[in-house]
Amino acid sequence: MQAGWPCLRPQGGGALLDLAVSPGARRTGADGLHDGALRVRLQAPPVDGQANEALIAWLAAQLGLPRRGVRLLRGASARRKQVAIDLPADAVAAWLAQVVG
C-alpha cells in the first residue's frame, strides 16, 4: 500500500477511509486531501441523511462495489466521517491515485 495516503488504513481484508465531506456543492466529486482526510464535495444537501446516502452511493459506484460494500462507521451527523470499504487497501489506494492525482 502507498504510504502517501494518511486517510487510508487496512482493516482485515478491507480498508478504512477517513473523509471530510462538504454537502450542498455544485457537483459531487473528490477534491484532494484535507487535514488527513479525503475531501469529498457532495451535491446532496445535509438534510435527513441525504448527504450520507449520496456519499455511500458515490463511493460504491466509484469503487465498483454494491452499496453494501461501503458502510458509514463514524460521523453520521458530522463533516468528518469514516467508512469501511470491502476492498483491499491497495485497490482503494489505486483509486485514490486516480481521483486525487
- The CATH number of whichever domain residue 81 belongs to comes to 3.30.1200.10
Say how many domains are in the chain. 1
The predicted pLDDT at position 101 comes to 74
The predicted pLDDT at position 4 comes to 76
pTM of the model: 0.93
Domain span at 65: 8-100
In a domain, 75, yes or no: yes
Low-confidence ranges of the chain (pLDDT < 50): 1-2
In a domain, 33, yes or no: yes
Please, what's the b/e burial string for 66-89 (b: 16 or more CB within 10 A of its CB; e: otherwise)?
eeebbebeebeeeeebbbbbbbeb
The predicted pLDDT at position 3 comes to 56
Q: What is the pLDDT of residues 58-86, one digit of tens each?
A: 999 999 999 999 999 999 999 999 999 99
Write the CB contacts of 79 (distance below 8 Å, at least 6 apart in sequence): 20, 21, 22
Full 3-state SS string of 39-69: EEECCCCCCCCHHHHHHHHHHHHHHCCCHHH
In a domain, 1, yes or no: no
